Amino acid sequence: MLTSIVDQPMRGTSNLDRIYVSELNYVNVKVIMSATTRLSSLTTGRTSQPTTNDENAVFRKRSPTQHALFLEHISQAWIELQSDADAQSNFDDMYAIMKNLLDRFYLEQQITVSSTDPRFVTPAIKAILRRKNRLMQACRTKEASALAHGRT
């Protein structure tokens, strides 16, 4: 449920600019009047920086080349299960085969994620952002731009 946290008019007498939040983390909301417009100021009440919890996350990097190699291999592969075995052992065999294929074509990589990272920044996205930043620092802006637009 979203709650409006600004209860003062910001455009004349109208309350047109509203700020909605799902969690009430703000202890103070002020409407600031400037010469041209009114702004809202939000204060969380925190007096110090939050502590961060870093942890290593595992993800599998994917690329069109890896997909092409995987599809070429799997189109020629022959997976055979034992007809006289029980369902659990056939499942275990199939799981081992699929895990082996993943490990062969889509290698696991580790990256450090922090509790301060936004929720939508997955380990794969963070790896792409880090690569883009390295490219930008190396003045390889065309490659960084292509990466940002999903072309590599």
Within 10 Å of residue 58's Cβ, how many Cβ atoms? Answer: 9
The β-bridge relationship of strands 3-4 and 20-21 is antiparallel
Write the single-letter amino acid at 152.
T
Span 30-54, average pLDDT? 60
Is 90 exceeded by the pLDDT of residue 6? no
Q: Tokens 């993800």 label which residue?
A: 59
Residue 76 backbone phi and psi in degrees, to 5:
-105, -5
38, burial (CB in 10 Å: exposed 0-12, middle 13-18, buried 19+): middle
Which has more confidence, 108 or 25?
A: 108
Looking at the chain, how many residues does it have? 152
Prediction pTM value: 0.51
| Two structure tokens written together for 106 | 């889509």
Residue 46: pLDDT band (50, 70, 90) is low
Q: Which long-range contacts (CB under 8 A, 24 or more apart) does 124-128 make?
A: 124/59, 124/61, 124/62, 127/59, 127/61
